Structure formats: C-alpha cells, structure tokens
Structure 1
Amino acid sequence: MTIARSFLTLCLATGLLGSCSHADTKEVVTEEPAADLPYDAVQVTAAQPTRSLSLPGELDSYYQTDIYPRVSSYLKRLHADIGDAVRPGQLLAELEAPELTAALSEALSQLKASQASYSSSRAAYHRLLVTSRTAGAVSPLNLEQAHAKALSDSLLVTAGRAHYEAASQMAGYLRITAPFAGVVTERNLAPGAFVGPGGQTNLPIFKIRQLSRLRLRLAVPEAYVGSIHVHDTVRFMVRTFPSETFMGTINRVANSVRPETRSEQIEIDIPNPKNRLRPGMFATATVPVDAAKSSLFVPRSSVVSTAERTYVIRVKNNRAELVDVQKGDETMGQIQVFGPLKVGDVVLKAGNEEITNEEPLRVELAER
C-alpha cells in the first residue's frame, strides 16, 4: 500500500513538471512599430573666405604658329628641324615651283622692254621739244604726238614694275622664313612633298613656339571675378620642379564670364629666359583675392544640384523649404553658398531630391 502511494505521488509530480515546462515555452512575441528616424541637420555658419585661390592652369607659348606654304609647290630643301632654335627671318625651307620662276623672268623682261621703249620715246620728245623752239621747224601736231607716246610708255613702265613686283612677291613665297624667335617643335614633311593650297596634305611644314616668354591661363570662378586686379602677383608651381615657386603678374583679364564654366579667363605673362618651363606644363597657381566680408558655409553634402536648379533644404517650422543658392569656394568639406540664407538657419546635412517643398520633417542637429 505504501509502495503504491509513493508511485502515484511520483507520477503526479512528473506530470506537473512536464506541464510547467510546456507552459514556459509558449512566449508571445509582439513587434512595436518603428518610429520615423529624424534627419540630420546643421546650422548655416559664417566664416571669412580664403584670401587666395588655388587654381589649375596650363602654360602656353606667348607666340606660336603653324608654318604653311602660300603657293602650290614642291618642298625642295629643309634648313631646320625639330628642336632647332630659330631667329626672326631665318630661312627654314626652300620650295620649288618652275611656273613661278618663269613668271618672274617674264615680268622682268616686260619691265626692261617697257623701260627701253620709254627711254627712246622720252628722248625723241625732248629732241622735238628743243627743235620746236625754232619757228616752223616742228609742227605742233608732231610735238603733241611725241609727248603722248612718251607718256604712254611711262605708264607701261609703271604697269610693268607692278607686275614684276607681284611676280617677285609670289616667287618670294618659295623661301619660308621664321616669323619670330622660337623653337621648332614639329617638322611634318620631307623634301619632295607636294605642298600648298592644292597639296595632298593639310599638315604644316613646321610648328614654332616661343619659349623665352610664356602665358599662364587661369579660369577664375564667377564668385571671385570682382576680386581680380591687373598687376596682382601670382605664384605657381609645376610638377617638374616641385620644390620651386615661380612668379608672374596678371597682365590681361577677359572681362567676360564664360556661360559654360561660369568663370573668367585671366592671363599671366611668364619670363622664361633659361627655357626651363615648357609650353603644355600644368601649373597650380595661387591667386590673391579680396575678402571684404564673411561668407556663408554649409556642408558640401547639403547642396542639391539638378539639371534645373541648385538648392539647399532649409527646415522652418518643421517643414522643408527649398532655397536656391549659388556655389562658391570649397574648403575642408564645407562649401561657400550665396542665396537668401542667414547665419543660424537650419538646413539638412544631406540634401535629398525626393524631399518636396513644405514637406513635414523631423530633424536633429548633428555635428558638421
């Protein structure tokens, strides 16, 4: 009897434990709806803009030209090649055109013939003029005819001289000379090539660049156009000489903003007496600019640029307000903006094209 009671008690205890274990495994999982995350926002700040601009540029020759022949001819002889330094008027090449040489000889012959005829008619007129002083020796008609013949021959001489000078000018085109002092940077043709307006190639015979004086061209952003002045000193560096700084002064300002780049071109003349700098080198220039007042800055990510507009999203009364701006200089992740903003305005740290005007927003100020 005692054993049976103990067995029954053990069974009841085992059943209760199983029941409790089963009840503990049934847990109710409830999901709370996630709240909308706030947008990160920052305040518009004011800072003194940089007093100098770092702009990329490219060195170019002060003078450079392609040398083409002016007449159809054959390239006879070359007197210069790539890398040669040339002086103004130096003979670079000789061309050959037999028809031009023949035309020059013909013009010279015609000029000499007209001069001989004029000399004879003039002498005859003077003899008649002297004889006419004796009454009845020469008729007035003969004297007048001799004078007309001398005058006509003198005009033929004038025409012959003009024709000869034109032929001589054309023949002079067979000698190609350097227009200024520089260096031959290209030589594209060899003797025997047919050149000129009717030639088989449009390549220039030579390309000449001036090295003793260079130009540095820079594109200044529109925001700084009013701060650029002629004769301001500009410093620049090139990769070839990374430890050296070169100097020049602003000589020319375009006085026109290019619509495609919203920038104005300036030119700096660079003396290069030792020919260390070369045309085509890239340069990084430091240009001084005025800094009369502070400017507004926002994070670069705050500015939204689309095909239609550039704007930032200002948050006012918990609603989005799309404010059009113009971009200026960038420095350390911040960008200068111009528009109807003021210091302390709250703008989204990361602009988003999907946000519309007057859309409700919840924001939280974040670090810049």
Structure 2
Amino acid sequence: MSCPMHRIITVAIAGLLVASCGPKKHAENLAKEQAGKNDEFRYSAVTIKGAQPVREINLPGELESFYETDLFPRVSSYISKIHVDIGDRVNKGQLLAELEAPELIANLTAAFSKVKAAEAMYQSSRATYQRALKTRKTPGAISEMDVETFWSKAMSDSLMVVAEQAHYESVKQLVDYLKITAPFAGVVTDRRLSPGAFVGPGGQNSVPLLKIKQLDRLRLRLAVPEAYLGDIRSGAHVQFSVRTFQNQVFSGNISRISHSVRPDTRSEMIEIDISNPDRKLKPGMFVSARLPVQSGEGSIFVPKTSVLSNMEQTFVIRVVNGVAERVSVERGDVTDSQVQIFGELKPGDVILKVASDEIPNKSAIAIETVN
C-alpha cells in the first residue's frame, strides 16, 4: 500500500476514535428533550357553558290567502251580466254579477199579491169583529157566540197575513241571490263562466262563477315535526324568504297552533299571519321559513370540530388536570357551527376545540382556553 493511502486510512481511524470518546446522549435524555419540545405546543380548548345558543329549523311552506272563496249561484238561473274579470280588485258588498230567472220574479209578484189579499181579508174580518163588539152593547142585538165567531175569524186572518209575509220574504231572498256580491275585499283570481250560461242545480253547478282571494293579508302554514313541538311558542317571530325575491327577508309571528299531530306526517300545523299591504307576495308561493325553537333543559352544545367519530366510538376529548380523556357522546341537533351532544359531560368541563384521533387516551396534554 502506498504511503498517501496509508495516511488517509490512519486519519479516518483517528477521527472515529475521537468521536467515540465524546459525550453520549442516553434515550432518557432524548425523551426529556422531546417532551420539552412538546410542551411548547398547546392545544386550543373550550369550556362547556350552560347557556344554549339560539336554534332555528328550516321548514318549507306555502302562502295562502287569509280569506278565499269560490262563488256559486244558489238558484237555477242564467248569467245576465258579469261586472268584473280576472285581476280586478273588489270591495266588500260590491256587485260582481247579475243573474236572471223570470220564474222567480213571477213567484215574487204572486207572493206579494197574496200578502195584500191576506191583509185585506184581515182588515175586513177585524172591522166585522169591532162592529160586533159595538152591537153587543145593545142587549139582545147579537149573541155571544157570534161575537166569538167574528173574533176567531179576525185572529185567523191575522195569522194568514203573517204566513203570507213569511212566504214573500223567502221568495224575495231567492230573488236577492240573483245579484252576486263580494263577501270581502280582495282580488278576482278566476272566472270560468260567461253571460248566457245556465247555472245552479241541474246546470254548471260544479264550476264556480268567480274566485276571490284576499291579498293584503296572507297566512303561512308550516308543518312542524313532532320532535320540536315542545319548543313552539305562540307569538314567536318567524322569518322566511321566497324564490322570487331572493335578496329580501319577510317576517311574521306565529298566530295559531293546531294542537293536533297528523298521524301520516307526525307533524303539527301552525299558521303565521303575514301583512302584505303592497301585495308583493302572492298566494301559492313556496317559502323557506326559519322557525326559532327553544333548547330543552340539560342540553349541551359544543363546536362541531370538538366531536370526532371513528370505527369504535363518537367522542370528545375532555382535559382534566393536564390529562386527555375520551368521553363517549351521542349527537343531537345541529346548528351552523355547533352540535348538541349527550354524554357524561356538564357545564364547566374543558374539552379540546378540535378533537384528534392521534391524541391517545389518558395522555398528558397542554392546552390554552379560547372563547
């Protein structure tokens, strides 16, 4: 071996000997050094509070007119005139359509004649009875039996007048049905028939003449699931939106609760009165409503990131005296940023804000509490 190569090998061996003679780091020291480094990192933690956040549930619904009705003729007749059409606004009591039925007019005239005839007969029998009373003052001029007969005839004729007047009023009421008026203020939303059509029993009685809906006041009907029935309060404020006006939020208050659960849907119907003075909202619009509900007593809500699920369990990591403990929980209702949990937890417990499956159970951990 040449001299230069021999020198290189000698220097390398000397370097290894010097290195082997330096200070040694035992595994124990390495563990302490690593622990020191770990202590520098602190996990974010939150304190469970007893106060529960405001919760809302989103429910679909449909707007309806506060009042709406189909107008059907009540007597057999022909349509003479229709004074309104689709889209017309009407006031309460306004004349909408006129019908004609000549036979009803004839019956009314006949009934009126019978009333006058009965009144004339009563006037005659009453006058006869009064003359009999004057005649009875002369002894022997008239018998008591004749006086009673005249009295009975006058009473019978007076009752006949009452009967004929009642018949006349009933026929007059039928004649009044020939004029169809608006039962409330609203808008005509449908008209199916035209002048000349026969309506009433035996005619096109299955088709309404007009349909009227109230637009300045609406009602929103929502079906609330059975799980939330205990949280519904009359007068609660409800906000909703419609697809037509996506950037606008409307509101109203719960006015009526049905207090009856439908067995087919397991839900209870509630109604919200909606003021609609500008008539922007229309009956039949579908809405998305946000219904506030009150949290039940004993419920605990934590950040969604605090709850972790793996193949074995769903848990949160509670920190007690610097030690991480996995506590099994069950999920409940979910809000935008929090989730309701059930388990062996109570207000005041400290849990990690972000749970991690890499943190072993019963391991030491450093935390810092955040709001």
Query: Could you state the TM-score of these two structures normalised by the residue count of structure 1?
Result: 0.68
1:264 to 249, 257, 268: 268
Secondary structure at the aligned position of 2:126 is classed as helix
Distance (whole Å) between structure 1 residues aligned to residue 241 and residue 177 of structure 2? 43
Residues 1-368 of structure 1 correspond to what in structure 2 (within 5 A)?
A: 51-200=55-204, 202-292=206-296, 293-294=298-299
Instruction: Report which stretch shifted further, 108-117 or 131-140.
Output: 131-140
Distance (whole Å) between structure 1 residues aligned to residue 192 and residue 332 of structure 2? 45
Secondary structure at the aligned position of 1:241 is classed as coil
Distance (whole Å) between structure 2 residues aligned to residue 189 and residue 94 of structure 1? 12
Identity of matched residues, %: 56
> Which amino acid in 2 is paired with 1:55?
L
Q: CA deviation at 1:334?
A: 11
Q: CA deviation at 1:50?
A: 6.2
Distance (whole Å) between structure 2 residues aligned to residue 287 and residue 334 of structure 1? 17
Distance (whole Å) between structure 2 residues aligned to residue 330 and residue 72 of structure 1? 60
Superposed CA offset, 1:312-335 (max 9, x none)? xx969xxxxxxxxxx975668999
Give the match for residue 355 of structure 1. Answer: none
Q: CA deviation at 1:134?
A: 2.1
Q: Report the CA distance shift for 1:162/1:233 in structure 2 as closer, same or farther (over 3 A).
A: same
Distance (whole Å) between structure 1 residues aligned to residue 332 and residue 290 of structure 2? 17
Q: Give yes or no for contact 1:213–1:272 (8 Å, CA) kept in 2.
A: yes
Distance (whole Å) between structure 1 residues aligned to residue 332 and residue 83 of structure 2? 53
Q: CA deviation at 1:138?
A: 2.1
Q: Report the CA distance shift for 1:73/1:248 in structure 2 as closer, same or farther (over 3 A).
A: same
Q: Report the CA distance shift for 1:91/1:328 in structure 2 as closer, same or farther (over 3 A).
A: farther
> Which amino acid in 1 is paired with 2:88?
D
Distance (whole Å) between structure 2 residues aligned to residue 88 and residue 134 of structure 1? 65
> Which amino acid in 1 is paired with 2:237?
T
Q: Give yes or no for contact 2:224–2:267 (8 Å, CA) kept in 1.
A: yes
Q: Give yes or no for contact 1:62–1:213 (8 Å, CA) kept in 2.
A: yes
Q: Report the CA distance shift for 1:328/1:190 in structure 2 as closer, same or farther (over 3 A).
A: farther
Secondary structure at the aligned position of 1:216 is classed as strand
Distance (whole Å) between structure 2 residues aligned to residue 259 and residue 158 of structure 1? 54
Distance (whole Å) between structure 1 residues aligned to residue 333 and residue 123 of structure 2? 81
Distance (whole Å) between structure 1 residues aligned to residue 268 and residue 208 of structure 2? 32
Secondary structure at the aligned position of 2:189 is classed as strand
> Which amino acid in 2 is paired with 1:90?
Q
Superposed CA offset, 1:207-263 (max 9, x none)? 000111100111111111100000111111122222222221101111122222221
Instruction: Report which stretch shifted further, 50-59 or 78-87.
Output: 50-59
Distance (whole Å) between structure 2 residues aligned to residue 198 and residue 277 of structure 1? 39
Distance (whole Å) between structure 1 residues aligned to residue 140 and residue 268 of structure 2? 86
Q: Give yes or no for contact 1:223–1:328 (8 Å, CA) kept in 2.
A: no
Secondary structure at the aligned position of 1:243 is classed as coil
> Which amino acid in 2 is paired with 1:58?
E
Superposed CA offset, 1:82-122 (max 9, x none)? 11111111111111112211111111111110001001111
Structure 2, gaps ≥5 residues long? 1-47, 305-310, 314-330, 346-356, 359-371
> Which amino acid in 2 is paired with 1:192?
G
Superposed CA offset, 1:312-365 (max 9, x none)? xx969xxxxxxxxxx97566899989xxx8579xxxxxxxxxxxxxxxxxxxx8
Between the two proteins, the alignment pairs up a number of residues equal to 275
Q: Give yes or no for contact 2:54–2:292 (8 Å, CA) kept in 1.
A: no
Give the match for residue 9 of structure 1. Answer: none
Q: Give yes or no for contact 1:236–1:286 (8 Å, CA) kept in 2.
A: yes
Distance (whole Å) between structure 1 residues aligned to residue 273 and residue 241 of structure 2? 15
Distance (whole Å) between structure 1 residues aligned to residue 278 and residue 98 of structure 2? 31
Distance (whole Å) between structure 2 residues aligned to residue 154 and residue 88 of structure 1? 39
Distance (whole Å) between structure 2 residues aligned to residue 72 and residue 141 of structure 1? 51
Distance (whole Å) between structure 1 residues aligned to residue 154 and residue 226 of structure 2? 72
